[in-house]
Copies of this chain bind each other. A is one copy, B any other.
Amino acid sequence: MTVLREVKALLPHEHIIYFGDTARVPYGNKSPQMVTKYALESALFLLTKGIKLLIIACNTSSAFALQILQKKMPVPVIGVIAPGAKEAARNTTSNKVAVIGTRTTVKSMAYDRSIKRLSPGIEVFSRACPLFVPIVEEGLEHDEIARLTAEKYLGDLRGSGIDVIVMGCTHYPVLEDVIRQTMGNRIKIVHSGKETAKEAWTILNERNLLNRRGRGKREYFVTDTPESFHEIGGRILGEALTHVKSLKSLDYQDLLFSS
């Protein structure tokens, strides 16, 4: 949803089809194998909708499924990690970057590798922050619980010379205020979703696939019933979600025959 918000802002003329695997999230504590399987199923579903570009709008999925999806999909596929890593490498002057994400994303070392490929001298400090996702989903981002949790995860990074922190989970932009309070005002916060939206624009523009007029439509598909998706999605996007459809499952029949 935080990625969608940026994509909508930067690509207002595009028709956006959003797929949320609400029956099986969160992915952040699941195994690489399971995350890859779920990402493939989700991508196949979106492919049946005639997409021209696929954004993996989840760091955990990007960490594991980007390569296989780039190999298997007939359309360009971008993840959120490379764009965030690039922005981090471009902005650090101390050459010390923090990356925060789910347990599975941090374990993958995907940001570390991506940042060091761009600039081997950068030191990367990674921290898994597993409580951040439920705090965001419960709307507790301004609660004392969020402050205490941020302090627990990030307090020891203060004063270590880090000048850039990458929000390596698409839930975390909701926590930007508390992350800034914890890390200090001078930290540069990289929002991978924002960078990913720019990357999408660049790719579509290069290939001459950009819609330049008209109001883009939005369609939402979820795997659980739509109630709580309406609530959380509306809160993050700041507008009521219409056209939300609920899929019964990711069976191939559903994939191919759902309207």
Contacts and interface: CB of A to CB of B under 8 A. Distances in A.
Interface of A: 22-24, 29-31, 33-34, 130-131, 133-135, 137-138, 140, 143-145, 148-149, 152, 224-225, 227-228
A135 to B, nearest CB: 7
B144 A31 contact: no
Contact of A131 (B24, B34, B134): B134
Given A31-B225, A228-B29, A131 B145 contact: yes
30 contacts: A22-B30, A23-B24, A23-B30, A24-B24, A29-B228, A30-B224, A31-B224, A31-B225, A31-B227, A31-B228, A33-B224, A33-B225, A34-B224, A34-B225, A130-B137, A130-B138, A131-B131, A131-B134, A131-B135, A131-B138, A131-B140, A131-B145, A133-B134, A134-B134, A143-B152, A144-B148, A145-B145, A145-B148, A145-B152, A148-B148
Most buried by B among A24, A149, A224, A228: A149
